Amino acid sequence: MTHSPLITSDATLTIVTPVYNESETLVQFFERLKWVMDETGHPWTVLFVDDGSEDDSVALIESLQSQGHPIELIVLSRNFGKELAMTAGLDHCDADAVIVIDSDLQDPPEVIPSLLANWREGFDVVYAQRERREGESWMKRFTAAAFYRTINLISRTPIPVDTGDFRLLSRQAYQSLGLLRERNRFMKGLFSWIGFRQKGIRYVREQRFAGTSKFSYWRLWNFAIDGVTSFTTAPLRMATYLGLFSAAMALIYALWVIIKTLFIGESVPGYPSLMVVILFLGGVQLVSIGIIGEYLGRLFEESKQRPLYLIRHHRLIGEDADKSADQPEA
């Protein structure tokens, strides 16, 4: 494959970085990122999106910006979550390509040249695929691997396994992504859903430079539910099959009881067997109602048509005063 003649050294790059209480890593992250980006030869900008940080992350970013670095800052009005912070950043990009990367230094900026090399070869989405995850417990590695493999079994949209948000998107790719305005956003699935030419590269995910992960197991569990309900209706179909299976088994058991009573003369089983059947069918019904409720709740959220996020202020490169704006629904 030959290099694309459309991509020259003048092609612009924007690095979108969501931030939430990352003051311990921001300076080191920017220093490493700056060194890597200066070596690429492309004009570049870092777009930090603060997702309602409660530490001095915003002050640190503004300090770096005041030193003349190519930094743009969006501060959301509150904590909307990482998925919406990424969406806000991508909505405000105007570059030939965008790179999404976290600021905790688990995704090393030194991988960016490999992303760019594949972009120059004509790929619209180049995602970084984890070969190894340093500093994470076996439980987190196991559950992450199980989730990606499970969702690929039940979803019609193939999602690359062991892949996070660290990736490059061409202008066509991220602008197409901007057309998707659903509220319950599972970005890893949306990155795959848009299609275009995609390629993965392998890398080693490093241990956190400082601080702790903002994702507890409970938040990861809810995140997994969002991913499943956003990209497949398989749970609803499974609930249907489970209900049909339960009804069939109940019918078979009822016929067996009638036959025993009529031809063998045994009495109908009493309290224990009755309780087992009632509890089993009740459990099936509650699980099915819960699954339906998850999907119904998402329909309720979509029906309200609220903006995906609101911006408290937006500081452009070299701007001293804040540029206030609320982001309307697109």
Instruction: Give the DSSP per-residue string, 89-153.
Output: HHHT--SSEEEE--SSSSS-GGGHHHHHHHHHTT-SEEEEEEEEETT--HHHHHHHHHHHHHHHH
Which tokens sit at 54? 């409660």
Output the pLDDT for position 327.
47
Output the pLDDT for position 320.
58
Output the pLDDT for position 98.
92
Residues of the chain with pLDDT under 50: 1-3, 5, 209, 321-330
The single residue listed with the structure tokens 């699980």 is 287
**C-alpha count within 13 angstroms, C-beta hemisphere, residue 161:** 15
Q: Which residues contact 191 (CB under 8 A, 6 or more apart)?
A: 125, 127, 165, 167, 169, 177
pLDDT in tens, 111-125: 889 899 888 888 899
Output the pLDDT for position 131.
76
296-305: long-range contacts at Cβ-Cβ below 8 A with a sequence spacing of 24 or more?
298/183, 298/184, 298/229, 298/230, 301/183, 301/184, 302/182, 302/183, 302/184, 305/329
pTM: 0.69
Output the pLDDT for position 296.
76
User: What's the CATH number of domain 13-232+307-315, 3.40.190.10, 3.90.550.10, 3.50.50.60, 3.30.2010.30?
Assistant: 3.90.550.10
Output the pLDDT for position 265.
60
Output the pLDDT for position 289.
78
Which helix (H) or strand (E) element contains residue 48? strand 44-50
Output the pLDDT for position 330.
44
